[in-house]
Amino acid sequence: MTDTPLLKVRDISKFYGARIGCQNVSFDLWPGEVLAIVGESGSGKTTLLNCLATRLMPTSGAVEYRMRDGQMRDLSRMSEAERRFLMRTDWGFVHQNPADGLRMAVSAGANVGERLMAVGERHYGNIRETAGSWLGRVEISVDRIDDQPRDFSGGMRQRLQIARNLVTSPRLIFMDEPTGGLDVSVQARLLDLLRGLVQDLGLSAIIVTHDLAVARLLSHRMMVMKDGLVIEQGLTDRVLDDPREAYTQLLVSSILQV
Ligand SMILES: Nc1ncnc2c1ncn2[C@@H]1O[C@H](COP(=O)(O)OP(=O)(O)OP(=O)(O)O)[C@@H](O)[C@H]1O
Ligand SMILES: [Mg+2]
């Protein structure tokens, strides 16, 4: 870890008209750190994540990101083109529903290769080889490289989405309920895979989940949201083993064996 955060979040609020999405959220994310955002349905997790990833414009507050050259940049002051470039290269975004993060009617290989082309790779053979090796890393047999994701199972699609996101060696990855729509056994396998990849690549990640077991397995630190506010945050083990807020205690005790 270096002594500068990768992401600095200051007082982010998002209102939908009069309704609160999230309110006054501040934190730093450090290189290599995995942060989980947990809370019940409607607590503002997705709103916050989308504000951080510039998919939504916050009503107030600022998010700064440390670029590869070391400069801290205010995301709201970047041009649309700069933001899009970040999204394609430095960042990944894993959607709960893989169909939202994949192109369903092009091949698996092209889904991965497309991101490589966005960072300037032009050599067809290299693209195909790298795509194939990433399919292997996410445990999709390379002989499926020319198949379309619409012919894949839900778990395979989610793994393909992860490969598509990681192929450009992003520094920061956002995930919204990455295991949400999957069977329990498929979830466990995917979590293992994600944990290994995040560790091997030294990725920073922000993961939205309502599942405390996912937070326990993947994150170093967690934030608990309720009604748009962060009501508790700290090291994941501390928050889960010794929750300070009554609401967090309730959340933890309502789940057996997290
Ligand atoms: N596009 C929108 N327009 C109006 N209100 C919205 C919109 N999106 C979210 N909200 C409201 O903002 C609040 C937070 O919603 P959000 O989707 O961020 O919650 P969440 O924690 O991600 O919930 P879930 O676990 O169900 O995905 C809710 O009251 C929701 O109704
Ligand atoms: Mg959500």
93: Cβ contacts below 8 Å, ≥ 6 apart: 53, 55, 87, 101, 165, 173, 174, 175, 176
Which residue's CA is minimally distant from atom 16 of ligand 1? 44
Residue 191 has φ and ψ, to the nearest 5°, of -65, -40
- Ligand 1 geometric centre to CA of 177 (Å): 14
Name the residue with the closest Cα to ligand 1, atom 24: 41
pLDDT of amino acid 258: 46
pLDDT number for residue 256: 54
- Residue by residue, DSSP assigns 162-213 as HHHHHTT--SEEEEESTTTTS-HHHHHHHHHHHHHHHHHHT-EEEEE-S-HH
Q: Whose CA is nearest to atom 12 of ligand 1?
A: 21
Matching residue, tokens 């379309």: 148
- Condensed to tens digits (0 to 9), the pLDDT of residues 197-250 reads 999 999 999 999 989 999 999 999 999 999 999 999 999 999 999 999 999 999
Ligand closest to the CA atom of residue 22: 1
As a whole-number percent, the residues of the chain with pLDDT over 70 amount to 98
Residues with CB under 6 A from ligand 1: 16, 19, 21, 39, 41-47, 210
Confidence (pLDDT) at 181: 79
Q: Which ligand is nearest to the CA of 43?
A: 1
pTM over 0.75: yes
Which ligand lies nearest to the CA atom of residue 39 in the structure? 1
Q: Does 1 score more than 60 pLDDT? A: no
Ligand 2 centroid–CA 94 distance in Å is 13
Cα of 42 vs centre of ligand 1, distance in Å, is 5
- Residue 25: pLDDT band with limits 50, 70, 90: very high
Question: Considering the chain, what is the average pLDDT of its residues?
Answer: 94
Dihedral of CA atoms 164, 88, 76, 203 in degrees, nearest 10, equals: 50
Report which ligand 1 atom has the smallest distance to the Cα of 49. Answer: 18
| C-alpha 224 – ligand 2 centre gap (Å) | 14
Q: What is the pLDDT of residue 118?
A: 87
> Residue whose CA is closest, atom 14 of ligand 1?
44
**Model confidence pLDDT, tens digit, residues 82-139:** 999 899 889 999 999 999 999 999 999 999 999 999 888 999 999 999 999 999 999 9
Residue 16 has pLDDT above 70, yes or no: yes
Q: Which of 13, 43, 52 to mutate for ligand 1's pocket (most ligand atoms within 8 Å of CB)?
A: 43
Q: Probe ligand 1: pick from 22, 47, 51, max atoms within 8 Å of CB?
A: 47
Q: In this structure, which ligand is nearest to the CA of 226?
A: 1
Residue 45: which of 85, 96, 7, 97 has the closest Cα? 96
Nearest CA to ligand 1 atom 2: 16
Q: For the segment 165-205, what is each residue's pLDDT rounded down to a tens digit?
A: 999 999 999 999 998 878 888 888 889 999 999 999 999 99
Q: What is the pLDDT of residues 140-174, one digit of tens each?
A: 999 999 999 999 999 999 999 999 999 999 999 99
Adjacency order of strands within the sheet including 72-74: 19-29, 7-16, 60-66, 72-74
115, containing H or E segment: helix 108-118
Q: Give residue 254's pLDDT band: very low, low, confident or very high (50, 70, 90).
A: confident
- Going by DSSP bridges, is the β-strand pair 72-74/91-94 parallel, antiparallel, or unpaired? unpaired
Nearest CA to ligand 1 atom 27: 41
What pLDDT does residue 189 have?
Answer: 86
Protein residue with its CA nearest to atom 6 in ligand 1: 16
DSSP three-state, residue 77: helix
